[in-house]
Amino acid sequence: MPSARIREIGTYVTSPRVMRYVAIGMILLGAILRLVVYLQNRNLFIDEANVARNIYERDLAGLTQPLSYEQYAPPVFLWVVKDCALCWGYAEYVLKLYPLLCGMLSLWLLYRVLALMEVRRAGWYPMVLFATGAIYLRYATELKQYSSDVMVALALVWLALITDILTLRPVRFVVLWILCGSLAVWSAMPSVFVLAAVGVYYSACLLHGRSWERWWLLALPSLLWLLQFGAYYFAILQPQADSAYLQNFHKDSFLYLLPRSGAEWLHNGDAMIQVLSVTAGHWTLSVIFHILCVAVAGTAAIRYRDQKMLLLIVPVMLLFFAAGLRQFSLQPRVILFVMPLLLVWIGVGLDRLLSIRGVRMVMLPIAAICVANYAHISYLWRPLLVTEVTDCLPYVQRQKQAGAELYIDGSAVPAYTYYTEIHPGKMKWSAIKGGTCLPYMADMDSICARMGERAMVLYSYQSADVMAAEAAAIDRHMVRQDVYKGRSVSQVLLLRKR
């Protein structure tokens, strides 16, 4: 009898009605978490500050050109943030407002996609991972385009699922997809992967329905998307994608298109598993569990010829192909757009596993453990920190160190520039303007040799090996009189001559 009672509880817990209420609760929790992290108002870090500098220095037309400071962001994203800044100023809250709204809307879009994919028993699982995952919370409250990339990807999949090419009036279908697809191209560069999936999905629908006469409904929007993306790629993306800086920075995040050795095969396998682990959990049990869910969903899609799964599978395959061509990095923040699609894929597989009575009571505890190891509810009371450079600026002011003998490490230059020249509260830091801004990977040995009797170096972020090399160079010429560390990784070195 106890085992029968447990099975009854398991059946109730995984019922579609209960799962729907839980999923809706995750929308609310995810929105609250994103709002709380947003209100923590953490500093802009390196890339964010560089995006802010581009937005501040350029007009709307200038934001359609390749950006300065080794940055990339799509024009629509930049225009929206620029318009917000023109209305309300260049404070962090204003600059991060659009990413926040995109992050909140993405919660609802993920819920709708799960419903349309008929994930009834396991819809709560992707929702709780997306609502509470640290990477989703961070980039929903950061001045980068990754949150809007997620929103656009989910919106395209949702639109494809609710728009039937076999029944919708031809003119309405064509106009709808020309407008929405064109907007997506200029709003999110990774949208090309999802638009390709939309094209494959509709092609499969036409093939299955034997509606050959409707091929032109797909061909016309696809041609216009391709032409726009081609113009976008050659005018804006290619100069940046092929730059030596970006190629070198992302070299370990590409794949080998045609692996020729065991090491290259191993690199590709590790990179693909890393994509899954960043999406839903690094813990070994989580990775194994999610591989199982992905495999189950993929096998079922092939067996039952589920055309809807193409909207999830094709973007992932194209992403790996682009990474093999060294045209798209697999760095976690860059591939954020595909992570919710992978979560849906995992949800589809888990939903099938939960439909098996004998398996259900094993899968539920594993899923709960994976959630416990991935969720970051603690951000409700513990700030999410990245690089808090303004923690160090009061110390610099107290030391009355300004001008040429205040050295700004290349890692801190973007934030230092933003807070002393762009931020609405820049007058607060007027006494420390005019510091010597160093390039990335500056020759600290020669710089320290030219320093005066007293100097300061401000850091925002540097890797441990770079800091060790710079410390050795500094110690050859200067004595570290004091080290002031702010929250996270920002710090100031107060130096005097040997």
From first to last of its 498 residues, the chain has per-residue pLDDT tens of 445 554 555 555 556 677 778 888 999 999 999 999 999 999 999 999 999 999 999 999 999 988 988 898 999 999 999 999 999 999 999 999 999 999 999 999 999 999 999 998 899 999 999 999 999 999 999 999 999 999 999 999 999 999 999 988 999 999 999 999 999 999 999 999 999 999 999 999 998 877 777 888 899 999 999 999 998 888 877 766 666 666 666 678 899 999 999 999 999 999 999 999 999 999 999 999 999 999 999 999 999 889 999 999 999 999 999 999 988 899 999 999 999 999 999 999 999 999 887 788 889 899 999 999 999 999 999 999 888 999 999 999 888 766 668 999 999 999 999 999 999 999 999 889 889 999 888 888 899 988 888 899 999 887 778 888 888 888 889 898 899 998 888 888 999 888
What the chain holds in terms of domains, given with CATH numbers, is 148-380 (no CATH), 389-497 (3.40.190)
Residue 123 φ then ψ, to 5°: -60, -25
3-state DSSP assignment of residue 406: strand
Judge contact between 121 and 76, C-beta under 8 A. Answer: no
Judge contact between 367 and 125, C-beta under 8 A. Answer: yes
Position of tokens 């992403």?
Answer: 319
Separation CA 5–CA 126 (nearest Å):
27
Under DSSP, the state recorded for 42 is P
Angle at 274 (CA atoms; ends 272, 275), nearest 5 degrees: 65
Q: Kindly report each contact of residues 320-326 with a partner whose C-beta sits within 8 Å and lies 24 or more positions away, as own/partner.
A: 320/255, 320/272, 321/257, 322/193, 323/253, 323/254, 323/255, 323/271, 324/254, 324/255, 324/256, 324/257, 324/258, 325/257, 326/247, 326/254
pLDDT of residue 240: 65
Cβ neighbours around 5 below 10 Å, total: 9
Q: Kindly report each contact of residues 477-480 with a partner whose C-beta sits within 8 Å and lies 24 or more positions away, as own/partner.
A: 477/445, 477/448, 477/449, 477/451, 478/448, 478/451
Separation CA 424–CA 95 (nearest Å):
12
CA 6 to the chain's CA centroid: 40
User: Rounded to whole angstroms, what are the CA distances from 60 to 54, 69, 81, 275?
Assistant: 11, 18, 10, 35
